[in-house]
A and B are shown apart, each in its own frame.
Chain A
Amino acid sequence: MSTPFLYALVGTGLFALGLFALIIHAHLLRKILALNVMGSGVFMVLVALAKRTGDAPLDAVPHAMVITGIVVAVSATALALTLMLKLNAKSGHAELPDDRRE
């Protein structure tokens, strides 16, 4: 098993782990963290897969993508945290109201 492949596998694992946490945790901060873990997983896959077959030189495109991705993730996290704080201020707890009407 090559090193890049291992990294990619770990990345996928992080993605799955984050998804699991996103679903089972009610607290919004945990959900946001879970999404960040998922994001890191995806970035790791991207970085790892930049090493393509054989001895070809490293591909720079996925790295560029990861940088863009990180920027997007930071802004998304900022928005999520602000929303969570606002919701907390309005409703007194940082959890989603269970939608029983559904």
Chain B
Amino acid sequence: MNWNAWMPPLMIASSLLPGLIIFGLTEERVRLRTVLNLSGALVKLVLVGFVLWGVSQGQQYETRLALLPGLELVLRAGPLSLLFVSLSAVLWLVTTVYAIGYLEHSPHRSRFFGFFSLCVTATVGVALSGNLITFLLFYELLTLATYPLVVHRGTEAARHAGLIYLRYTITGGALLLVATVWLYTLTGTLEFTPQGFLDSLGAEHHTALIIIFTLLIAGFGVKAALVPLHGWLPQAMVAPAPVSALLHAVAVVKAGAFGIVRVVYDVFGVEFAANLGVLAPLAWLAAITIIYGSLRALFQDDLKRRLAFSTISQVSYIVLGTAIAGPVAAIGGVVHLVHQGLMKITLFFCAGNLAETLGIHKISEMNGVGRRMPWTMAAFTIGAFGMIGAPPVAGFVTKWYLGLGALQAGQEWVIIVLAGSSLLNAAYFLPILHRAWFQEPPSTWPKEFDFGRKETAWMLLLPPVITALMALAAGLLATSTFSPLEWAQFIAEHEFSRP
């Protein structure tokens, strides 16, 4: 085993080990816990940076471990993996800072941060998986690690939400398992390969492959919250705000979307999938989800619920970009993995800040809040404009490439979906901004906490400001080297070039 083979396990260990140690800490060891959390996150970031540089220099990072006779656990840092790993590493650091601030006085923090680290471990594992069984393993681990976070508050409502979350995700996991084993019995391999590994299968297997594709998409679609499998996401809003941020931007929803990307690109291969005729229905499903999520978001008064439905809509951009089956649209889909993460996490951080500082949970309570919390609302505004797709925020780049890619692939209807969705996004975000900036604040807030001269605790304020700036930068500096867009183009070339 050379040094490069150590990198993927190290990337996983950098959050796994702190997590396991944190489980063993008593509640009072605040400082040690914080140090562990932050150093784990920083080490991971450094490792990711190192590997990114290495991959751009043509290095290979791969680890293999025999799991069953003939089947291996494979961790590989390919370009697509690294995009997701970088996103989760960066956002983990920010979210950790936020969570430390957010949970400052609440109980059971050791448990919380333990599972939090486990969650990130699973996400990084999902990202680095080099074959479907490894993916499945980490994907299920993610389900298990997020459950305690969803029910963290220990109320009856939380227990109920956890139950619903499990009903969806465990069933999805079971479908994945069947599909994976089935695929294995057909092909004898599960290794992710650019342009897929199913070419050799004859036409007599095509029906089976269509069913397998459906099962896989259903399994991943649960976490990616594709309609009609989205029911758990709004329910899971009872969890603390950092968990929502994690679910929506970094881990769970993203893992589902990433799974779909993997299946289309590296299991079936775009061309093969298109020839099977399974991509067009997937594109339609994504389009329906985009519109449906936006429509539902329009009618929510609860801020977090509105954001949840917005997530349902936004994540399907990734799926849509994948399903259009053209290189340009693929760039749009893949880059949205990052862009949506940055923007949505900003919005959830801000929503958490409003709740923690002023006790605001509903949009109808947000009158004039921009004057009381200008920094928070500035970040929120950037995120919201990004979601709408207004330049120069990152969301614009996504929509531009998606639209361009759809035209190139001759699927003009997608433009209508994009335009309609943008209008709806504007319709549910602009009124919030209007309220926050241009309405008179009420004389008292629902439940105000005092933070002296500052608008809120710095640990709560810094993360959304940083992520908002990153979302802005991803849009403004889209053409610079190492921007998400450049990286996504690199990936798309990889996936669409015939060897």
A and B touch in the complex (CB under 8 A): no
Hey, which bits of chain A sit against chain B, CB under 8 A? none
Hey, which bits of chain B sit against chain A, CB under 8 A? none
